[in-house]
A and B are shown apart, each in its own frame.
Chain A
Amino acid sequence: MADTAGHSPGSTASTIRNSSAAIAVLVLALAPQLVDLVWSIGGLLGSLAGLVKSSGRNPAQVLAGHGSALLFAVPSLAFGSFGATTKSALSSETLLALIYTYPLLAVAAFTLFVKLRAPQDYFGGVILMAIALFALWASSDLQGTRGFSFGAGTTPRMFGVLLLALGAGVAVVGLVTDGPKLATYAWRGPLFESLSILSFALTIRPLGLVISAFASFIISALGTPETRWTETIIVGICLTIGCSLLFPYALGLPLQLFPRFLLQ
């Protein structure tokens, strides 16, 4: 990696990299809100199609809720000022903005101005911080310490703060010592293996072991370009037969073999 600070081509390259790094952290900071939005859109579509019961909140509400929370979190904190009594009055969205998003936005801004000497460590640390902040938000509604007796929320918060500090430590190490670049991620393997797992989870109940095992075998085999289809299909069939004999019969597990609608 050419991180020569003096040369102009090198420095422009590093600013470009840094702004994309900052954008990555920015997306991370807004990730829970985005996931919530996507989830609510999915819920809306699902309820339109009549597949699932409406989750209760439509995308517009979610957008408005998070938007106002992000904008007004600081004022509402300022109005409520100090005191734990008002904290419980804050909505979950506001807390998310305060506990999770704002600190990460600060990290994103910070990323813009620093030189990442070991990006692998830096991003590892930042994501650990994000996980810690998220856990802190998730446990913010729990009872804290009362007198000398721990509440349900004491230990999660304790370890959350600890992980936050450690994540920050790892990130700082990535700033002050030279280290490896980001490893390259492949898309094909992770994508098809995830799809294979997902298809198994979704089809095992309605369609039974035979179909879902074979389908997830084939999807999983898509994970590499080297698959040769004839042999894969033959092995897939053999494996499916083997599993159908092994799990329900040899091991006596209550697995359904064939689709439900065929059995009725």
Chain B
Amino acid sequence: MADLFSGLALGFGVALTPINLMLCLIGALVGTLVGVLPGIGTIATVAMLLPITFGLPPIGALIMLAGIYYGAQYGGSTTSILVNIPGEATSVVTTLDGFQMAKQGRAGPALAIAAIGSFFAGCVATVLIAVLGAPLTKLALAFGPAEYFSLMVLGLIFAVVLAKGSVLKAVAMIVFGLLLSMVGSDIETGVSRMAFNLPELADGLGFATVAMGVFGFAEIIRNLDAGAQMDRELVQQKITGLMPTRKDLMVSAPAIIRGTVLGSILGILPGGGAVIASFAAYTFEKKISRDPSRFGRGAIEGVAAPESANNAAAQTSFIPLLTLGIPPNAVMALMVGAMTIHGIVPGPQVMQKQPELVWGMIASMWIGNLMLIIINLPLVGIWVRLLRVPYRLMFPSIMVFCAIGIYSINNAPVDVILAGAFGLLGYWLIKHDFEPAPLLLGMVLGPLMEENLRRALLISRGDWTVFLTRPLSAVLMALAASLLVLAVLPSLRKKRDEVFAETED
């Protein structure tokens, strides 16, 4: 216990230095600024802003990234509530009741309750990380290559279950991602693989390049299909009365607590917890509500629960990243990318070797949350004005910004062309109803998976049953198999489709 608090104290010591506070503040502001833009989700925001952290020292860079992440997430909810355009999957549910509240002139309370719920969830999740971090690190030491491999399989299967639409297509996207991750030099022998003798491909495809292409460029190209005059039903009323009433608070307090609990649990599991957390929290609230018909017509619980769940999950998803080094979702994968650029290899060793980094980041998450609540509520007016900038002016700016961002990673023009190619690929994927998120996760986990698979088989002398004979690994594999079976089962499929269908009206 004393251990835990000394850790947190160390973290706050690091995070509360003026420079790091400043970085966190700037990150949260810029993250919100970009995240508010419709059509740009958290992943795209973090991918776009990644290059601006390159010049900083590692701790500062990660603190700023954490700020950007929270800012982007909060910006996404703002867009969902005010214009009914969810920036990304996690804020889809927020649009259901949030936008209805805004239409009734209650955008202020909706935004406030989203921020308050997120903050509460963030506080709880921060404590949870601090408590669970150290024991989980010990568990991580019991992990051999076989266990790592099985855990990653579990994570990928999770991503499949959560992707909407066909299970088969989601699995195909993961394998495509794994295949893309093989481009470049082989880890063990250093042989160049599928690089066609192009020196630019010798190091493999850059993760940020692919992410920016598949999410950033593809999104813009797709939006242009519909015409730049995007159908935006902007809330025209002035936002008055920011604070929720006493009744609002009474109603949403239990919803926030339930959402936080649900989100914290789902976030720890590898494989994109934040999305399912917000959906699960919403459906749960609807189920236990005395009057379910209120949902979809501006019920404040419908904003409070998913927003807190999504933030709690986002926060606890740092646990598998910091302890096992496995990114549980695409945003965390970007964080890993950022860490490796700064020469940090995430995993159990980081906790021991660089405690100030880990605890600093945990503390700064909490501070980031606090900042969001303090800065963003007064700034809502500005964000609303930003939403009135027409898309025809916005999209070329985003294009240029992205292009400079990619170029600046390696100072390589070829990276920009590759990102463009992946943009076209992403456009094609959207047209054929393939989801890009599993692809990205597969691509990130690919090298780790391959390495552990090879190592496990080498240790077992080529015996494939090693994944089933080692108890921990067998449990993980069994979990993965049962999840996959559940996802394919028709009854559950129908339910899952219902959850998604409900959000697409």
In angstroms, Cα B186 to Cα A243, docked, is 38
Residues on the B chain within 8 Å of A190, using CB: 221, 424, 427
Residues in A with CB closer than 8 Å to B445 are none
Q: A124-B169, A156-B194, A253-B54 are in contact. Are A193 and B217 (CB under 8 A)?
A: yes
- In chain B between 155 and 212, which residues have their CB closer than 8 angstroms to a CB of chain A? 166, 168-169, 171-172, 175-176, 178-179, 182, 186, 188-189, 191, 193-194, 196
B112 → chain A closest CB, angstroms? 32
Complex interface: chain A residues within 8 A of B393 (CB): 231-232, 235
The answer to whether A139 touches B453, judged by C-beta atoms less than 8 angstroms apart, is no
State the total of A-B contacts with C-beta under 8 angstroms. Answer: 204
On whether A180 and B433 interact (CB within 8 A), knowing A226-B227, A226-B228, the answer reads: yes
Which stretch from B16-24, B287-295, B344-352, B394-402 is at the chain A interface?
Answer: B394-402
Task: Name the residue of chain B whose CB is nearest to the CB of A154.
Answer: B454
Contact B175 A166 (CB under 8 A): yes
Chain A interface, number of residues (Cβ within 8 angstroms): 73
Minimum CB–CB distance from A64 to chain B (whole Å) comes to: 21
Q: Are B403 and A197 in contact, CB atoms less than 8 angstroms apart?
A: yes
Are B55 and A253 neighbours in the complex by a CB distance under 8 Å?
A: yes
Binary contact readout A169-185 vs B (1 if CB under 8 angstroms, 0 otherwise): 11001000000101101
- Label chain B's interface by main secondary structure: helix
Tell me whether A260 is interfacial, beta carbon within 8 Å.
Answer: no
Which parts of A142-160 form the interface with B (CB within 8 Å)? 142-143, 147-153, 155-156, 159-160
C-alpha gap A162/B442 in the complex (Å):
14
Which residue of the partner chain, among B175, B395, B428, contacts A220 with CB atoms under 8 Å?
Answer: B395
Across the interface, do B176 and A220 meet the contact criterion of CB distance under 8 Å?
no
Asked whether, in the complex, the Cβ of A152 is within 8 Å of the Cβ of B404, the reply is no
Partner of A150, one of B54, B196, B397, B454: B454
Would you call A68 an interface residue if the criterion is a C-beta within 8 Å of the partner chain's C-beta atoms? no
Smallest beta-carbon distance A150→chain B, Å = 5
Given contacts A143-B189, A217-B399, A255-B408, contact A170 B433 (CB under 8 A): no
Across-interface contacts of A135 in B (CB, < 8 A): 179, 182, 194
Cβ of B467 to closest chain A Cβ, rounded Å:
15
Q: Which listed residue, A120, A123, A188, A226, touches B229 by the CB 8 Å rule?
A: A226
Q: Does B481 contact A (CB under 8 A)?
A: no
Asked if A193 contacts B194 (CB within 8 A), the reply is no
Contacts of A147 in B (CB 8 A): 462
Once the chains bind, are B168 and A197 in contact (CB under 8 Å)? Answer: no
Stretch of A10-18, A98-106, A202-210 lying at the B interface:
A202-210
User: Known contacts A190-B424, A193-B423, A202-B413: does B176 contact A138 (CB below 8 Å)?
Assistant: no
- In the complex, what residue of chain A is closest to B196 when comparing beta carbons? A138
Q: Which parts of B96-148 form the interface with A (CB within 8 Å)?
A: none
Chain B residues with CB under 8 A of A223: 221, 224, 395-396
- CB-CB < 8 A to B54: which residues of A? 251, 253
CB of B395, distance to nearest CB on chain A (Å): 7
Residues from 398 to 447 in B contacting A, C-beta threshold 8 Å: 399-401, 403-404, 407-408, 411, 413-414, 416-417, 419-420, 423-424, 427-428, 431-434
Whether, in the assembled complex, B505 has its beta carbon less than 8 Å from a beta carbon of chain A, the answer is no
- Determine whether A43 belongs to the interface, using a CB cutoff of 8 Å to chain B: no
Minimum CB–CB distance from B185 to chain A (whole Å) comes to 9
Query: Restricting to B214-245, which residues have a CB under 8 Å from any CB of A?
Result: 217, 220-222, 224-225, 227-229
CA distance in complex: A188, B223 (Å): 12
Which residues of chain B are near A139, meaning CB under 8 Å?
182, 193-194
Is residue B89 within 8 Å, beta carbon to beta carbon, of the partner chain? no
A235 to B457, CA, bound (A): 58
Number of B residues near A (Cβ < 8 Å) is: 65
- Knowing A197-B217, A224-B228, A254-B411 are in contact, say whether A236-B396 is a contact too (CB < 8 A): yes
A224 to chain B, nearest CB (A): 4
Chain A contacts with B in 122-143, Cβ cutoff 8 A = 123-124, 127-128, 131-132, 135, 138-139, 142-143
Q: Answer whether A200 and B400 are a contact pair too, CB < 8 Å, given A124-B434, A163-B175.
A: yes
Is B250 an interface residue when CB atoms closer than 8 A count as contact? Answer: no
CB distance from B490 to the nearest CB of A (A): 13
Contact A216 B168 (CB under 8 A): no
Which chain B residues lie closer than 8 Å to A127 at the CB level? 428, 432
Contact B400 A221 (CB under 8 A): no
Q: Which residue of B lies closest to A145 (CB)?
A: B462
A142 adjacent to B193 (CB under 8 Å): yes
Find out whether the CB atom of B191 lies under 8 angstroms from the CB atom of A152.
Answer: yes
B439: shortest Cβ distance to chain A, in Å?
11
For A170, list chain B residues within 8 Å (CB).
166, 168-169, 172
Bound CA span A114–B16, Å: 67
**CB–CB B461/A247 < 8 A:** no
A30 CB, nearest partner CB in chain B, Å: 18
The reply on B450 being an interface residue by CB < 8 A is yes
Query: How far apart sit A171 and B442, CA to CA, in the bound complex (Å)?
Result: 21
Query: Residue A198 at the B interface, CB < 8 A?
Result: yes
Instruction: Check if B407 sits within 8 Å of A204, measured CB to CB.
Output: yes
Q: Bound complex: CA of A128 vs CA of B220, how far in Å?
A: 23
Contact A247 B408 (CB under 8 A): yes
Which parts of B356-400 form the interface with A (CB within 8 Å)?
Answer: 392-393, 395-397, 399-400
B51 within 8 A of A: yes
- Contact status A166-B224, CB under 8 Å: no
Q: List 7 A-B contacts (CB under 8 A).
A: A150-B458, A151-B189, A197-B403, A213-B400, A217-B399, A235-B393, A236-B396
Q: List residues of chain A with CB under 8 Å of any chain B CB.
A: 120-121, 123-124, 127-128, 131-132, 135, 138-139, 142-143, 147-153, 155-156, 159-160, 162-163, 166-167, 169-170, 173, 180, 182-183, 185-186, 188-190, 193-194, 196-198, 200-202, 204-205, 209, 213, 216-218, 220-221, 223-224, 226-228, 231-232, 235-236, 239, 243, 247, 251-255
Given A166-B172, A169-B172, A197-B420, 10 more contacts at CB 8 Å?
A120-B432, A124-B433, A139-B194, A142-B186, A148-B458, A155-B182, A170-B169, A190-B427, A220-B396, A223-B221
Give B contacts to A, CB under 8 Å. 51-52, 54-55, 166, 168-169, 171-172, 175-176, 178-179, 182, 186, 188-189, 191, 193-194, 196, 217, 220-222, 224-225, 227-229, 392-393, 395-397, 399-401, 403-404, 407-408, 411, 413-414, 416-417, 419-420, 423-424, 427-428, 431-434, 450, 453-454, 457-458, 461-463
